Structures are given as structure tokens and as C-alpha cells.
Structure 1
């Protein structure tokens, strides 16, 4: 990795131990995953864990099932927001772990169970010792995976009243060695959105397809043409990646020549600035093919993610915490292709996300055999607690 040598630690915070309670919490969250918008039981599990820690303020039902626990210092000062995610994925888990998902077709295959546990470890330490000044808000955000959660939380008046001065977050990064981190200022997660393209023609009897108008030729031409819009890598400002994720043609029947079909595609750019042009190019391709084949065409947009851009001030806060914790870090893998709705918080305050190595042999995120490494819990909590100490004393 492109590493930076940690500076000599000054007053480092001791990372919290990985207690049996934290381990069981992570495993319980993993066994009972809930997808975006359905995280009611997960939020209640977190609320039940936090309540005995006596946060000074608890907000619930934010943007759906989100919640915030606020720990206040005796002296006034800035508000530091730490954020994690509640939701899992609609993917069947095949890890074989003893704590594997008990919900068929759903799994914590992105590590949000681990991220939640890290903030719960932070909460335990804040309950033992508040910072010297200011406030710390721990946000357990819903619906990150479909891109809607952060936007809905930010719309809540109760959340906006918190008025955070800085927002920090982390995500595990498979492929990066455990015990290391990736961090940089500027764009760190790509913008993305789902585009559903629907062609409408005319059905016919399968014995007389010439009497109808099938979208099959247009769809067959569209999919490779969409993929050809890709260019560059995420390190390039004009990076584009177009991924066909699903296609549907007609009815599940042998007697009907299709009259309707849809192509689902994910559009990805380094920044929001280039997304509009990519959308226009994708839609123009579909309109041209629809016209050539006598079809109607319509579009709908889904799972809209803004790009994440780390503010220098917030990046410096995380870099200082990494150095004081003795964590080797650099910019390996950044900017990262996956999208994250944490980027929306930069509209409120300086924000930054760091990436913790989950291991070079760790399955990739969203793979069916992924499982969050428990060793990251004390590491992540220690970094956040160090940032709290550095910023609030």
C-alpha cells in the first residue's frame, strides 16, 4: 500500500476490549439481518443496548428506523457526529459461520453489523467517561444500501437541530490488510444510480411473431452498447462504469412473442458532476434503438447515491486519530468504486470516511460468504475514541 509512517503517538486512547457482550451483539445482529426500510427490530436491539448507558438524548424513528444517541460533556463545545448503518442486503448468506443469517435470502454481507457494534463500543466508553467539552452524537442510520437513508435522516427537523460541526464514519475494506487503513481528502466513493429502461411493443402469438413488435432486438443491441459507455478507472475525473444488472423480456410463456421488456443498469461516475452526462448518453442510446425498432421507451431512476468527498478538516481529524493509534495508513484503493450515501452529510458540515482493512483474503463486499472480521471492532472503536479525544478533549 502507499503507506504513511505513523507519527509518535501522543496521549493515545486505549482501544476498548472485545468483550463477550460486544461479540454476542455483533453475532446477534448478523443472525437477524433486515434490509433497507425494514430495520425495526435491528433498531430496537440497538436502542435496548444503548438505554442502560444513559445517553443524554435519544432520538428514534429518524428517516424510518434510524436512531441517535447523544452524549454531552459538562462544558459547551462542538458537536461531533459518528455514523453507522442498520441495514443488510437481500442476498442469501453462504458463509457457514455459527452466527450466519437465520433469514433466508437476507444477510449482513457488507459489514454493517460490525459498524454498529463499533459505535456501541464507543457508546460504552462514553458512558464511562464523557468528553471534556461538546457533544458526541452516534447515528445508526437506516437504508444505506438503497441510497435513501441519509437523505431521509437529514430531512428530519429533530436531526437537523443537532447541527453537527463534523461528521465521521468508517467502512471495512476487503483486500486491505487487517490493522491498516485507507484515507484521503477529496472524492473517496463514486456517485451511482440505477436506471430502469422499459421498452413497449406489441405481443403476438409465438407462431406468428411477425404480427407483433418484440423488444428483443433492441434489448440485445442495447446491453453491449451500454457497457461500451464505460471508460477509465475511478482515479480518473471522467471515469464511467455502466453495469447491466438485470433484464426481463416478455412473459414466462412459450406461446407468446414478447411485447415488453426492461433492462436494469447501474451508472457510476467518480463525481456527481459527470453523472448527468452519462444518464443522457444512456437514455439517448435507448431512444435511438426504440425508434429503430418501432418501440416505446420509458425511464425510471432508483438507488441514487451522491459521491462521497472527504473534507480536508475532517480528513485531518481522522489522520491524527490513526497516527495516535499507531495505525499504518495510506490511500490504497481510493477513490473506491462502491457508492455510499454518507456523502450527503457534507451538505451539513465537514465530513470524512476512512476505510479499515478487512484482510487481503477476505471475501469481497456483497459476496454470499462475506463475514465482518471481529478484530476490527476494537480497532475501529479506538480510532473513533481517539478522534473524540483529539477534537473534544
Structure 2
């Protein structure tokens, strides 16, 4: 085991410091500073900051040439008001680390300690702390950053904690791991009128009433089949909240979801055709905007094989239970660069779900996830485990910005 008891205590405290200061996608400046301070204390060979926004990457060089192996965590929190009495609860109103990204960062902080004490034999390890995962823009921004070319991986790995799975158990399988999804915003524009003379205007009411069931009906298919699709209407607005004006504008928001990217392209085309036809039939103008766009995550067999061997070496139970997820993850973009794989790490069957206001990452998962990552790196790059010493330099606690 490459972590000491002291490490475990300090990493948990560091994680709780992050938990107190959640920042939203694209706003993670304070979190990035805390990560940079931790990496400097751990002795990273190089630290890149400002990747794709507030992203941070640490590089640990091996003595001999070899592949680049990347491990990724996420920086951002959620626009959720935390409901907790924990001493480390969020100190920022309306913001919370309710997805466990603080715990994922702590796993990589554990790796930084391990590789700071002893480098891999060959190649190099990259620890990427990625911004803006929750809105689907972060991975694309990191990859597009010119500085990322210097750390382009040959293999990439990630983990996501998962309430509902037995504590410490791993869900892992080759093939689809997370769905593709896209947020579709349909804007229908007509002309307002006095409520006593609606015939003098052009109301989008009929188009909205038609579109919501039509869009939902595009979904269907066996959940695990390539043709699976789901459309969820998440928001609709019609006119102004008053009694004297017949509406002239409306919006329908929906989330499109498929098991793979090819099916997503077809689903987008089908949804757009419905919106345009409804507008044409009622004389309305229509605009369509996409946001929160996620590619599907595909676990490469060769990357999965490394994680399986790591779980077996560490005595951690693993299997395909719970995969693929309907939820999306923008780690899927890294598969365009290199074989990649993400595993789910069980947070316990009795815990609140992800994105619930009372969810808090369990500290005891930090060491389990870190062990899997470290064993994976050792399998690929050679031993990187030194005798752990109780005098190891502690990672600094993040500044509390509450």
C-alpha cells in the first residue's frame, strides 16, 4: 500500500476543504489554485495551468522512454443548495459538490503523493484536473488547448463514484459506459395580441402542445440496444405571466439521449424536423440551439484489461453491474485521442444519489480508487511504489472561500 494512515487523514481533510468551496463549470479558479498548491507540495516534475479554462495537469516523468498514461478528475461542482449538517458542508450558497468530484480530485492527489515519492520506471504519468465537466464543455476545451498537445495520452483512465453499488465494488465493462446526450432548446416566435383579440396575433400555443408529445415519442428501443433513444422534456415557457396578452413566443427545452453518437445524430435530425414542421404548419419562426452536449463514453477493451488486472491484484470485486449508464460524462471525448476507460466505484447502497442535495463523497473511497489507479500505472509503466513514510509532505488544505 503506497499510502500511510497519515496520508489518509490528510487527503480526507483536503477533500473536505474542496467540498467547502464548490465552484461551477468554468468558474473553478479557487479550486485550481488549491490543486496547484497540492501538486507543488507533492513534487510534480511539471505543472500546466489554465488548460481549457481552469484545467490543471501534473506530469511525473519516468527514467526511460515509454507511453503517457493519463488519469482524469473533475474540478467543478453543481448549482445545488447542499442540505447537510456536516462541519465541511458547502460554504457557498446554492453550490455543492453533490457529484463527488471533490473525491475524484482527492484520488489524484493520492497518486501525486505516490509518484512524488517514486517516479514510474518509464514513460510518464499525467494527472489531469479537468474543468467544466458538468456542462459538457470541459474535455473539448482541454483537448483544443494548444498546451494539451505536449501531454497527449497513449492511454486514459477515469473513475466515477456511484451510490447504489456496494461500497468499494467496481463496475467495469468494455463497450458503451455512458450515454450521449444533448440539451435542445427550441424557440418559437410569432406575434403577441390583446387577450381579447387573439386572432390578431400569432400564438405558438398549438405548436408547443403538439411538440411536447411528439418529441417524447421519438424515444424508444431496448435500453441496451444500439438504436435506443430517449427524449425528456425538461422545461417549457409560453408568453408572459399575465392575463392581458396572448403569447407571441415560446420555448421548449428537452434532453436527447442515446447509447451512441451515431444514433444521436439521427435523433437530432428527427427532433429538428419535428420542430421545423410544427413551426411551418402554424406560421411561426423557429430557432434551435444546443448546449450541454456530451459524446457517449466507450470503454476500450485494452484499457479495461488494465483496470481489471489492477482490481484483481488489489482484491477489489468487479463486474459489469450498473453499466452502461444513462447519465452522460464528457470523459468520452478523450477516446478520440487514445484508448480510454472509466470505472464506477461503489459508494454504498444506502447513500443518497448523485446530484441529491445531501450527497457527500465517502472519504474511505479515496484510497480504494487511488489503489486501482496506482496499480494500473505500475502495470503499464513499471513499479512506482515506494516505502511510504509517515513524514510525507502533506498536501495543503485548500483556502476556504466561504
Contact kept? 1:33, 1:88, Cα under 8 Å? yes
CA shift at 1:151, angstroms? 0.8
The answer as to 2:129 corresponding to 1:115 is no
Q: 2:151 aligns with which of 154, 162, 179?
A: 162
The answer as to 2:54 corresponding to 1:65 is yes
Contact kept? 2:168, 2:346, Cα under 8 Å? yes
> Which stretch has the larger CA shift, 256-265 or 218-227?
218-227
Q: 2:323 aligns with which of 334, 343, 364?
A: 334
Within 5 Å, give how 1:1-393 maps onto structure 2.
13-14=1-2, 17=5, 19-393=8-382
**SS of the residue 2:335 aligns to:** helix
Deviations 1:182-237 (A, max 9, x none): 00111111111111101001111223223222212221221122112111343111
What is the CA–CA distance in structure 1 between the aligned matches of 2:98 and 2:16, rounded to whole Å?
13
What is the CA–CA distance in structure 2 between the aligned matches of 1:184 and 1:391, rounded to whole Å?
19
Gaps of 5+ in 2: 383-402
Gaps of 5+ in 1: 1-12
Could you say which residue in structure 2 is the equivalent of 1:4?
none
Number of equivalent positions: 381
CA shift at 1:166, angstroms? 0.7
What is the CA–CA distance in structure 1 between the aligned matches of 2:91 and 2:232, rounded to whole Å?
30
What is the CA–CA distance in structure 2 between the aligned matches of 1:102 and 1:231, rounded to whole Å?
42
What is the CA–CA distance in structure 1 between the aligned matches of 2:290 and 2:91, rounded to whole Å?
32
CA shift at 1:296, angstroms? 1.5
What is the CA–CA distance in structure 2 between the aligned matches of 1:56 and 1:313, rounded to whole Å?
28
Deviations 1:323-378 (A, max 9, x none): 11111111011111111111111121111111101111222211222211212101
What is the CA–CA distance in structure 2 between the aligned matches of 1:14 and 1:58, rounded to whole Å?
22
Deviations 1:157-187 (A, max 9, x none): 2211223211111111121111101001111
Contact kept? 1:234, 1:336, Cα under 8 Å? no
Deviations 1:210-266 (A, max 9, x none): 322221222122112211211134311111011111112212333222100101111
Contact kept? 2:39, 2:47, Cα under 8 Å? no
TM normalised by structure 1 equals 0.94
What is the CA–CA distance in structure 2 between the aligned matches of 1:227 and 1:99, rounded to whole Å?
41
| Aligned residues: CA RMSD | 1.4
What is the CA–CA distance in structure 2 between the aligned matches of 1:192 and 1:167, rounded to whole Å?
22
What is the CA–CA distance in structure 2 between the aligned matches of 1:85 and 1:233, rounded to whole Å?
31
Give structure 1 regions of 4+ aligned residues with deviation exceeding 6 angstroms.
none
Contact kept? 1:35, 1:143, Cα under 8 Å? yes
> Which stretch has the larger CA shift, 226-235 or 120-129?
226-235
**SS of the residue 1:51 aligns to:** helix
What is the CA–CA distance in structure 2 between the aligned matches of 1:375 and 1:228, rounded to whole Å?
43
Could you say which residue in structure 1 is the equivalent of 2:400?
none
Contact kept? 2:3, 2:114, Cα under 8 Å? no
Contact kept? 2:2, 2:114, Cα under 8 Å? no
What is the CA–CA distance in structure 2 between the aligned matches of 1:351 and 1:366, rounded to whole Å?
25
